[in-house]
A and B are shown apart, each in its own frame.
Chain A
Amino acid sequence: MLPKLLNGRRILSHQQVKFYQTGTLTVGNRLLDAEQRTVQATIDRSNSLDSGHRACQGCGEALGARYAIDSAMRATNNKLIAANATGCLEVFTTPYPESSWTMPWIHSLFGNAAAIGTGIAAAMKVKGKEDVRVIAQGGDGGTTDIGFGCLSGMFERNDDVLYICYDNQGYMNTGVQRSSATPGGARTATTMPVGPEPGADFDKGKNVPLIAMAHDIPYVATASIDRLHDLEAKVTKAMSIRGARYIQIFVPCPLGWGSAPAQTVNLARLAVESGIWPLFEGENGEITSVTKIRKKVPVEEYLKPQRRFAHVVKNPETLNVVQEIADRNIRKFGLLEEQE
């Protein structure tokens, strides 16, 4: 292990980092080039999603959105407009007359955030304000299910919108129901752990980052809130590109997953390190970078702290099915160093 670490490894999508201390998994700001240092650590961060909102303790979405939006704000010199789908993020950041948004923000419907983004971008273009950029955002339900038509339309027209999906793997705002991003085995209010095949069905659901890539759009990425620096870099990169872009961020939900709020970041890390949530970037339909797993962990470590998988962990057969899914991801995306 030692020589590899000393040789430096590509653990961030945007910059090769050389570790000076062995065994650490943390990249400090000081190790990065000045322009690569984290947005959150600067005093001029925009605080676009300001404090005082009503997110649950340990909310992965609030963390992800804060980092994503502040990065996008920095990348656009604070000239940014956001369209938000109905969902947790919309509900916990408003209602009137309160708003956590210090940027121009609109909520229209559950299934049309991408189209609202298209409309705003069109208005900016026609008014000659192309320096004002647009993001559309929503949860996985608003993105992979009800908003999918508008999302695909925005992609195929290559409209100048960055769409960010905060993926907490279910309809959490309405009380934890299954979405097409819910993983097999998971307990939700509509896939209860009862009967001979408890929890959500395996072999259902869709991979929207790959579907986004099938539209040949200029930029697609997956990200996770366990590596916020990487998330910031991906958003910054996305904002340097014109056209339709898509980032899906893995955001654990303590309420929906039955996990301790303090475990949110750890679960995000275990999802990446087990191969459950592959981190990759794609440009114009081709995968251009993959984040390698630093230290592979069995899926059990990821599943165990979550009550939604209690029945899965207890059953060696279903546990094995989940492990096979993770292993398939590792093979498919080449997530382990050894496979190169």
Chain B
Amino acid sequence: MLKQIEGSHGVAEAVALCRPEVICAYPITPQTHIVEDLGVLVKSGKLTNCEYINVESEFAALSVGIGSSAAGARTYTATASQGILFMAEAVYNASGLGLPIVMTVGNRSIGAPINIWNDQTDSMSMRDAGWIQLFVEDNQQAVDIHIQAFKIAEKLSLPVMVCMDGFILTHAIEGIDVPEQKQVDKFLPPFVPRQVLDPEDPISIGAMVGPEAFTEVRYIAHQKQKEALKLIPQINEEFKKIFGRDSGGLISTSNTEGADTVIVTLGSVIGTIEEALDEQDEKIGALTIRSFRPFPLEEIRSALKNAKRVVVFEKCFAVGIGGIVANNVRMAMSGTNIPVYEVIGGLGGRPIIRKSLHKLFKDAVNDKLENVTFLDLKKDVVDRELEREKQLIQSGSVAENVLRDGGVVNAAKTT
């Protein structure tokens, strides 16, 4: 049914349609509305046969989830930013134990300096934790991918993280086709755990593994991610048959055929980029990575093989080296001579504006891009702060100085 609702509400409804048995709720912006809305659905009796637990931290949220999933209950939680770092130990544990928990990440930056706005640093910090990571473009996809996520997770016995841009998607109200319960029931069978805590058949879960087998266990985790490369498109096809919508599988492309330049990105920013591209004369294609883990090396390589240059636009970066997504894309392009440029933008919620994108596209097409570009970086402010640090030993807080210098804080400028 078509509804005009907030992204978070759409996700809550989608999760509820999947008949979760345990939901762990802990507030962190910008994910909070999702668990709030699920709380209403449980308390009002619309979502039955579900334990909704207000936990005391994100570490507890996922730990309770590990317990409930290991005991055979379909389990859901949501987090963001500092929250995913606080639960980091449990993030690795959930995948190591092979527990098919589904978790939404309302993508947000990580501090310090504390910042509540959108980028994708949080999900990226857990990219090697053994979870499936699916990034969505819009709220329809957010709804659809959550429903697919439970199926992917339970088929592989692996946890799935659905990553949606904080505020831009979580707080945006737009038209969403919310599926019917009978459609979801047809698509998603009840959860049958691979192993379960049961007094009738006692097993030990989570015991120690030494050097004699650890490599093999980790290798199998890697193999399971490779299996997911086949499974994700299959499940998307199954979904398409029942719901009549395509969520794109591993990647989606637009105008990549015959394009010399292809922009590669993740998440909702593709909407902004495509709009800016429409206003552009040059033929530039775009590729969106839906599945960041597993990383679809073959699909990306094949989609980009005829390009003259690739520009990766990402809302995160690995401090000390550069783009995270770009480095992964480079791996897909290894052996080719196609240059991969990195553009880092939208950090901590900085708006990605049309004018900047147009200049970026122009520079890209004319091969004027640096290897790494920080979109709309205020270079003069940065240079002055670096100079201050050279001059003064006790130069103070970088974050505060930059804000004062930028004139955002209407106070005396630091000299």
Contact = CB atoms under 8 A, between A and B. Distances in A.
The yes or no verdict on A and B being binding partners is yes
Interface of A: 78-81, 83, 90-91, 94-96, 99, 101-109, 111-112, 115-127, 132, 149-150, 152-153, 156-157
Contacts of A104: 197-199, 201-203
A166 to B, nearest CB: 18
Contacts of A127: 21, 72-73
Contacts of A124: 71
Contacts of B206: 106-108
A83 B66 CA distance: 11
B181 interface: no
Given A102-B202, A123-B21, 17 more contacts: A95-B208, A96-B207, A101-B202, A107-B204, A108-B63, A115-B59, A115-B63, A115-B64, A116-B67, A118-B53, A119-B70, A122-B22, A122-B67, A123-B72, A126-B49, A152-B56, A153-B60
Nearest to A111: B59
A90 B205 CA distance: 11
Contact of B63 (A95, A112, A156): A112
B400 interface: no
A112 to B, nearest CB: 4
B209 to A, nearest CB: 6
Nearest to A78: B199
A123 B73 contact: yes
Contact of A109 (B51, B72, B90, B213): B90
7 closest A-B pairs by beta carbon, nearest first, are A119-B67, A123-B71, A95-B208, A153-B56, A94-B207, A115-B63, A112-B63
A126 B213 CA distance: 36
A119 B63 contact: yes
Contacts of B65: 119
Contacts of B72: 123, 127
A99 B205 CA distance: 10
Given A126-B22, A149-B59, A107 B49 contact: no
A116 B66 contact: yes
B50 A126 contact: yes
A282 to B, nearest CB: 22
A91 B70 contact: no
A112 B197 contact: no
B353 to A, nearest CB: 42
9 contacts: A81-B199, A104-B198, A105-B202, A106-B204, A109-B63, A118-B60, A126-B21, A126-B51, A152-B56
Nearest to A106: B205
Chain B interface size, as a band, is 35 or more
Given A116-B66, A126-B21, A150 B207 contact: no
Given A106-B197, A127-B21, A150-B59, A122 B202 contact: no
Contacts of B198: 104
B66 A112 contact: yes
Q: In this complex, which of B53, B71, B203 has the most chain A Cβ atoms within 10 angstroms of its Cβ? A: B71
B265 interface: no
Contacts of A95: 207-210
Interface string B110-134: 0000000000000000000000000
B223 interface: no
Contacts of A96: 204, 207-209, 213
A108 B197 CA distance: 13
Contact of A81 (B22, B97, B197, B213): B197
A103 B22 contact: no
A241 B14 CA distance: 38
Q: In this complex, which of B68, B97, B201, B203 has the most chain A Cβ atoms within 10 angstroms of its Cβ? A: B68
Nearest to B72: A123
B282 interface: no
A112 B60 contact: yes
Interface in B24-71: 24, 49-51, 53-57, 59-60, 63-71
B50 A103 contact: no
A150 B56 contact: yes
Given A108-B67, A126-B21, A149 B53 contact: no
A122 B21 CA distance: 9
B89 interface: yes
A81 B93 contact: no
B97 A132 contact: no
Contacts of A152: 56
A153 B25 CA distance: 13
Contact of A123 (B22, B54, B93, B207): B22
B53 A108 contact: no
Interface string B184-215: 00000000000001110111111111100100
Contact of A80 (B22, B97, B199, B207): B199
B60 A150 contact: yes
Contacts of A125: 51
A78 B199 CA distance: 7
B199 to A, nearest CB: 5
Given A108-B66, A122-B64, A150-B59, A91 B199 contact: no
A99 to B, nearest CB: 4
A161 to B, nearest CB: 10
B73 A149 contact: no
